[in-house]
Structure formats: C-alpha cells, structure tokens
Structure 1
C-alpha cells in the first residue's frame, strides 16, 4: 500500500484453519483504511492512524477480539524532513544511513514468547530429523504454539505481544522511530518472509547487502532469491520454519543525495 508520502507493508497472519475470513482478507481491508487515514490526515500520529484503521475495519466488518483474523503492519512516512516508521509485530523496517550504519526498527515480543516454548524446539528438531512439513506431528505442534499465541495476543498479560486485529488499542503498543531524511540512503520495509533472507538464511550478508541488491536488480530480485533458496530446502531440514514458503513483500525506498 502506498500514498504520496507513505508506504505500508501488511502480512496476513497465517492460520491453521481454512475458515474465512482469513489473514489476507483482513490485511487487504486494513490496508485500504490505512491508505485513507494517511491521505486524509498526513500529519497525524502514526499510532492514531493505525488505531483508527483497526477500529474502522472492526466496526464495518463486525469483528470480535480473539476471533478476528489479524495482520502484521509496518508503516513508513516522509513528513517534512523526517522519515517516521511504526511496527507492531514481526514486519521490520531497516534504515540504511549515510554514515554506513544500519538502524533496525523491529518488534520481537512474539519471538520472545514463542522461541522459549518447548513445543517450538520440538517442531524444529523434528524438521531437522527429516519429518517434513506434512506430518501430523508438525501440524499438532503448530496448533499448540498457536494456542499459546492466542492466550497472549493483544492482552495486558505477562509475555503479551500486540498485532493488528480487532483491538484498536494495539496500535499504541507499536514500536516507533524517526530519522532525518537527509541521513538516509535507503529504507527497507518487509515481511518476515523476506527478512529471513538476512536473519535466518544468511542469503544476504547484511541489510546493506540486501539494499545493494535492490539498487542493482530491484526488490523483486530479493524476493525471488529468498524463494529460490527455500526451494533447495523443501523439508525444512536446513532451516526449520513453519512452512516451505512464507508470504513475501518488500518495499525499497531510495533517498536522493
């Protein structure tokens, strides 16, 4: 999603059930509301814009907290001479700066909750042992991890994490940051299906290397490279993960000198 001065990347949260509405549908609905909010109130606080968008989708679609589909969101906006960004959940924004440094805006609360769970370690070990994604045990373990997530999503409890769902308050628990636009060479906004190319797979040696690939070949090339790498590991032995391929979206913004 883009407006004249803002971009947003949304990723529908995967579910194990086939019932509708699903995360992709919710991401589409929320994206349209975000575009309207960012256009109509270009100087409003990003958290307030996200809160309004979640509230609008919730009211218009009759969604119920805890029973609603959800989506991760990353928003970046150019306002005056500042680049502002907002992230709830695992859709990172990475700023490449002119002095060579890299600043990551990320929200690791979900990872902090899940990666310490015994079921997380068990499903990863089963994949390393060659059980594959299609086994009943793999699905069972993911269902158990999903139940833990549901108990902690958008709630004022120990270990909670926040995501765009049917709770507008989640917007005010997002992580935010801003940078002087003059200090940046580029900005990467992506789903975790792309960020794994650096963080889990090591396909790109750094965020700077990913940005350089975007500059040379375009962001679609990065997405294609991550997808192709996953094809070489179809059973998840080398890189244990929830499924063979996750959704991939990447926006690369280059700033003039």
Structure 2
C-alpha cells in the first residue's frame, strides 16, 4: 500500500489537533476535539498531547497482534493512553480531552477499517461489485442540542455520540468493516475538515477520491481552504476554518 497525506492546522498561529501515523500496512488519522474556552477538562494535558500518545499506542496494538480486530486495537489504545495520563488527571471528567479515530489496515486477505467520531474512510473496490464503500461516523450531525452542557451530557453515550477519550468501551461503538484485499483499488481517510467538501460544499465522495488520486492530498486541502474563503460568515454551523487531514492510499 502506497500512502500520501497532507495535514494542516486551521491557522499557523495555533497548534494542529490532527495527527497522522502511516506505514505500508496501516494508517491512523486522529482529529482532536478543540477544547472550548473556559471548560475545565480535569486534565493537565492538551489535545495535541492526547493525539500524539493515542496514535502510537494504537500502532503498538496493531503491531503486537496483526490479526486483532480493530475494535480490540482501539479499546487497547484508549486504555493505554488513559494509563499515560497518570494520577494528575481526573479521567472521570466528561470533558476530558477527546479525539476522533479513523483506521485503515491492509492485511493479507482483507482491508479493514474503523471510524470513531466524525471522520471518514473511503474504499474503492473493483471487479464485478465495483463501487465505493464509505465508512462514516456522522452521529454528531444528529444531536438535538449543541450547547456545551448538552455535548458534555451526550458525549460517549448511546443517546449522543462516541469518541476516543476516557472510556475504552467506546471502541465497541466504532463504525467497522472489512473488504476482500483482492478487490480494493484505492482508499482515502479524512477528518471532518475535509469531509466538509461533501457535507457543506456539494462535492461527491467520488470526486474527492479522484482529486486525491490525480492531484494529491495537498491540492485537496487547498480545495477546502478555497471553499472556506468563499463562504459567507455564518452560512454554516461550526468553525469557518478547521484543521484538515487528507490521506490517499493506492493498492
């Protein structure tokens, strides 16, 4: 598997809460949830610390047992990162630092994926069943209330959404799937900073995948920034600019 990617902060004057870790057999994409101003997370660590610890912990789990399910890998990675926090952090706090996780693993017989939080994995298959498989966790798009209090109440619950933070059992709610390795031709992983090309700006998933293939992840990120600059303030809910990560995999 050949992997190319581009990861860019929302602006040059703030840390990037996205994180990518890639090898020839797996890719990990994390999108840390930016902490709202004034919210006490109960933790001495920031979001960049979280993604920089969780990604290697996931990689260790993937390498330790190459046949492990991605749900088990995700559960072990979250548990290991909780242990990394140490005693100075209150991991019972519902506002504990959190992050999305998107994983793609290329095995001998299958290509496996897992998505937790509002990121996406695209897998193109060829042959008689040609098409595009979309692994998308869009539960945050259907909340009834986006206030800080409501998000705190709904985070990591079946009534709301699940994310990697302080509950290893969140792994069991990930969107997962497997595809026969022989039919996979291309794949992509992206954070919600890039999925907005589809969800806000009317592109198709196929168009995004084709542009990643033809022009590369850097140009797709440039597409995002161009759309953001052309958008009137207040036209959409949420941030005008976001951290963005686009990954393209060729098989």
Which band: TM-score by shorter chain?
A: 0.7 to 0.9
Q: CA deviation at 1:74?
A: 0.4
Instruction: Work out the CA distance in 2 between the residues paired with 1:198 and 1:100.
Output: 21
- 1:232-247 to structure 2, matched below 5 A, reads 232-233=230-231, 235-237=233-235, 240-247=236-243
Task: Name 1:134's counterpart in structure 2.
Answer: none
Matched, 1:34 2:58: yes
- Contact between 1:2 and 1:35, CA under 8 Å: does it hold in 2? no
Q: CA deviation at 1:73?
A: 0.3
Task: Name 1:101's counterpart in structure 2.
Answer: 131
Task: Name 1:215's counterpart in structure 2.
Answer: 213
Range that drifts further, 34-43 or 20-29: 20-29
Structure 1: runs of 5 or more not aligned = 121-144
Q: CA deviation at 1:234?
A: 5.5
Matched, 1:60 2:84: yes
Instruction: Work out the CA distance in 2 between the residues paired with 1:81 and 1:149.
Output: 40
Task: Name 1:252's counterpart in structure 2.
Answer: 248
Which of residues 13, 19, 26 is equivalent to 1:6? 26
Q: Over aligned residue pairs, what C-alpha RMSD do you find? A: 1.8
Matched, 1:46 2:76: no
CA deviations 1:182-205 (Å, max 9, x no partner) are 222211111010011122112x3x
Please state which structure has a larger fraction of its residues in strand. 2
Instruction: Work out the CA distance in 1 between the residues paired with 2:118 and 2:24.
Output: 25
- Contact between 2:119 and 2:192, CA under 8 Å: does it hold in 1? yes
- 1:140-219 to structure 2, matched below 5 A, reads 145-155=147-157, 159-202=159-202, 204=203, 206-219=204-217
Task: Name 1:139's counterpart in structure 2.
Answer: none
TM-score, normalising length: structure 1: 0.80
Instruction: Work out the CA distance in 2 between the residues paired with 1:188 and 1:77.
Output: 12
Structure 2: runs of 5 or more not aligned = 1-20
Q: CA deviation at 1:52?
A: 1.0
Change over 3 Å in CA distance of 1:234–1:35 after alignment to 2: farther
CA deviations 1:83-121 (Å, max 9, x no partner) are 0000111111111222542221112222222xx43xx6x
Instruction: Work out the CA distance in 1 between the residues paired with 2:72 and 2:23.
Output: 17
- Higher relative contact order (Cα pairs below 8 Å, separated by 6+ residues): 2
Q: Which stretches of structure 1, 4 residues or more, deviate above 3 A after TM superposition?
A: none
Please state which structure has a larger fraction of its residues in helix. 1
Change over 3 Å in CA distance of 1:149–1:4 after alignment to 2: same
